[in-house]
Amino acid sequence: MERTDLHELRKDPLLGRWIAVLGQPKSPADYVVTRDDDTEKNCVLCAGREKETAAEIMSLPGRGRGWATRVIPHFSPVFKVEGELGRRGDGMYDRMNSIGASEIIVESPEHSVRPEEMGLEQMSKVITTYKERMADLEKDPRLRYTLIYKNSGREAGAFFSHPVSYLASTPVIPKRVKEELDGAKQYFAYKERCIFCDIIREELRVGSRLILETRHFIAFCPYASKFPFESWIAPKRHCCAFQDIVTEEIEDMALILSAVIKKLRAAFPGLSFNYFIHSAPNRIPRKDHWHTLGEDFHWHVEIMPRLLRTSGFEWGSGFYVLPTSPEHASQYLREV
């Protein structure tokens, strides 16, 4: 008999995207979300309670004998590293096992510190942890893509008040990322230039959408933003894979990421937001893979403030309405 507790991936044949279907289905009552008061007193992610979680995958040392960052398996993983992909047909459809990795990156031993308040040294260690996990998972030939993301605030899907980020490594390239890869490849084929490098040069030239510039990075509101006050951070040095970031860039990224989040929080007290890193797929040679990745793609961070609820128009059309232009949004953030 086929096991029903295993998660699986199903492919939408019309749009070409993959959907994760959980093995243990939720009933209607399970969708009424109730959360315990996530306080320092009952938080298993705080320092000193390491034995109450699964064995850590890695950690970076802090000052003294403790840890600064810690990576553990997700408590409810969608993707699991054990097993084989098991690609198979289901009538006209395609499915496979949900092989991959689901991890929690504990950003600090302190319970209530916000990302913009943890300091550059600690934020640099968070970014270093991101780098090391992505570099390690790239070695697994079953995995195609690794996404680092953060949910801050309940409107953004946060479950813990302890500062955490998440990692999901998947056996397929997500559709949203594939659209960026395809667009970048087409631009390069036409102009023989990286579209992201051109965007960086254009934003520096125009200046009206620029939020902040540092030695190695720029932060800006994209010309055709999907959401108000959407902000991107991109390295000036052309590089397709986040895990190739170097030491001086890590420190600079800690500075600009903290500064942009601080500006957003100042403009919108109590703001919920998501951020995620879009990087190149795992660079193991494959037939029909993106052989020009090193030339045409450019890793970057996207920060999405949760200021609006998506309406039926956006869901039905994929056409976004922007109440505040990127030019005005970046002006507000520059002046904060």
Alpha-carbon Rg of the chain, whole angstroms? 20
Mean pLDDT (the chain, rounded):
91
| Domains of the chain, first to last | 8-170 (3.30.428.10), 175-335 (3.30.428.10)
pLDDT of residue 296: 93
**Percent of the chain clearing pLDDT 90 (strictly above):** 73
- 288 backbone φψ class: left, alpha, beta (φ>0; ψ -120 to 50): left
Q: Which residue reads 């198979």 in tokens? A: 88
88-90 and 93-97 strand pairing:
antiparallel
- Per-residue pLDDT reduced to its tens digit, 135-165: 999 999 889 999 999 999 989 989 899 999 9
Which amino acid is it at 42? N
CA end-to-end distance (rounded Å), the chain: 61
CB atoms within 10 A of CB 25: 8
Distance CA 267, CA 107 (A): 24
The dihedral built from the CA positions of residue 140, 172, 9 and 55, taken in this order, carries a sign that is positive
- Per-residue pLDDT reduced to its tens digit, 177-189: 999 999 999 999 9
Distance CA 117, CA 261 (A): 10
- Averaged pLDDT for residues 297-305: 97
- Per-residue pLDDT reduced to its tens digit, 61-103: 998 779 999 999 999 999 998 888 889 999 999 999 999 999 9
User: Contact 162/190 with Cβ under 8 angstroms?
Assistant: no
For residue 276, list its beta bridge partners: 149, 302
Q: What angle do CA 153, 240, 134 make, to 5 degrees?
A: 55
Burial of 190 (0-12, 13-18, 19+ CB in 10 A): exposed
pLDDT of residue 174: 94
- Per-residue pLDDT reduced to its tens digit, 236-253: 999 999 999 999 999 999
pTM, 2 dp: 0.92
Sequence-separated (6 or more) residues with CB below 8 Å from residue 198:
187, 191
Classified as helix, coil or strand, 11 is strand
Distance CA 212, CA 210 (A): 6
- Per-residue pLDDT reduced to its tens digit, 220-232: 999 999 999 999 9
Kindly state the tokens that stand for 282. Answer: 């795992």
Kindly state the tokens that stand for 138. Answer: 């790239």
Distance CA 57, CA 43 (A): 19
User: Contact 229/221 with Cβ under 8 angstroms?
Assistant: yes
User: Contact 253/217 with Cβ under 8 angstroms?
Assistant: yes
